[in-house]
Amino acid sequence: MQPLPRLSTLYDALLVAMVVMTTITVPDTGAFLPLFRVQESIVESTGARCLDGSPPAYYMYVQLPAAKPSDPEAVRSWRIHLRGGGWCFTAEQCWQRSQTTLGSSRFLPQLITDAHNGFMSTNTTTNPLFGDWGVIYVEYCDGSSYLSDVSELVRLFGDLIYFRGRHILKAVLLDAEAKVQILSKANRVILSGTSAGGLATYLHCDAVRRLFGPDCDFRCLPDAGLFLDHDNITGQPHYRTEVQAGLKLWNGTDSLGITCRQALKPISEEWKCAFAQYMVPLIASPLFILNSLYDEASMVIVLQLGCRPGVTGLGAAPCTPAQLAAFQAYHTAMLGALKPALSDTAVGVFATACYQHEESCQDADWSSITIDSMSMRDAVYHWYKGGTVHQVDTTWPNDPSCVANITHGPC
């Protein structure tokens, strides 16, 4: 007599059955996506864990084409999205994250909805080219953009901290393969990400591509992941110093792409491979860059500007002339960082002048932000269909299409 399946196995089987049905959509509110935690056998074989030791997790949804409503194998096109959430550059910061959804899968809700998620939307009216593709949201729980790889555990404040981010993406896709055969049967895949997930999209684009079959049309679409190697407003390399400290804590250098590390010899320069601006010319997979030239998070994390240009009220301090000059100088540095992409017709670029962070995740941004009358959505569609897209915006605050009075943010 065969033993009864474990409860978690039964639960996963039920969720997979839900995932491959179209009946888990709710009109006007989007699709419900159930949570999957990577099964323990894959966690053990790969070593992938969140900061607190819990298994990596992801949300998944499949919308079956009407032509084959009962065939889950009909869906062979996927959008895989890497969530963002910053980084932890010290052990104490990582411990703090381990007590939250940014460092543990224990606190994640069992269902989410994608009611207004731009590029990732399952609404084929607002997202006609990609809306019927399968969806995976990889939850970000390692704090290193998937670079950490330390075999020993770190004990802090009575808790064990795991630095195993390097193995999470492979573990998630192996788990999804066991459920919906994504690796063996996908024929079109776009890997996207926002913020720290956008950076991870640059860093791991080619490595994830190698997990799929040779005939898979695989592309990468990072949003708001271009955090520059740039001095702060006082002339100090603050962000570079933090990244270098993170790489040491995470043992992350070996997780950086070997192509980049070989190109940026000597060894003392390998840290540059943790910055998208140095990675872009070396990425072999088709790439489309979405980024603001005035990314709001970069103004805090990199530039440490100390004010919010154009923002009044809510205790916001007005920017001084020196702060506004530094703000515009960062825009100039962004244009310089984009030069390799703008010289390559295979790389798509949509660089806005909107003072915001993450631009592909809300329908209002996805459909309404325009450069030379081309919307972000239409730019990505044109690139995907084989066109050349090098759209670079004006200077801030001169783009009237930048969408105000909505909550921008992650998918």
Which pLDDT score, from 0 to 100, does residue 94 have?
A: 98
Q: How many residues does the chain have?
A: 411
Strand partners, 193: 82, 222
pLDDT at 317: 78
In 3-state terms, what secondary structure has residue 262?
helix
d(CA 168, CA 43): 9
Band (pLDDT 50/70/90 cuts) for residue 257 is confident
| 51 contacts 141 by C-beta, under 8 angstroms | yes
CA distances from 237 to 163, 240, 308 (A): 25, 5, 21
- pTM for the predicted model, two decimal places: 0.92
Q: Which residue has the higher pLDDT, 1 or 18?
A: 18
Report yes or no: 374 and 316 within 8 Å, Cβ to Cβ: no
pLDDT at residue 32, as a whole number: 85
Residue type present at position 160: L
The string of pLDDT tens digits covering residues 73-132 is: 446 899 999 999 999 999 999 999 999 999 999 999 999 987 658 999 988 888 989 988
- Predicted confidence at residue 4, as pLDDT, reads 31
> What pLDDT was estimated at residue 410?
80
**What percent of the chain is modeled with pLDDT above 90?**
77
Q: What is the pLDDT of residue 117?
A: 82
Q: Which residues pair with 218 in a beta bridge?
A: 189
Q: Pairing mode, if any, of strands 288-292 and 348-352?
A: parallel
SS3 233: coil
Taking 80 as the threshold, does the pLDDT of residue 15 lie above it?
no
Mean pLDDT (the chain, rounded):
89
The 10s digit of each residue's pLDDT in 177-204 is 999 999 999 999 999 999 999 999 999 9
**What's the whole-number mean pLDDT along residues 361-373?**
93
Q: What local confidence, expressed as pLDDT, does residue 279 receive?
A: 95
Residue 404: pLDDT above 80?
A: no
The answer, yes or no, to whether residue 283 has pLDDT greater than 60, is: yes
- Does the pLDDT at position 14 exceed 50? no
The answer to whether residue 286 scores a pLDDT higher than 50 is yes
Determine the Cα–Cα distance for residues 281 and 263; give it in Å rounded to an integer: 10
Indicate the pLDDT class of residue 147, thresholds 50, 70 and 90: very high
| pLDDT score for 31 | 73
**pLDDT (average), residues 287-308:** 97
Checking if the pLDDT of 408 tops 80, the result is no
Q: What is the mean pLDDT of residues 223-235?
A: 98
Per-residue confidence (pLDDT) for residue 17, from 0 to 100: 47
Q: How confident is the model at residue 315 (pLDDT cuts 50, 70, 90)?
A: low
Q: Which of 257, 281, 284 is nearest to 339 (CA)?
A: 281
Residue 207, amino acid: A
Q: Do residues 164 and 150 lie in contact, with contact meaning Cβ atoms separated by under 8 Å?
A: yes
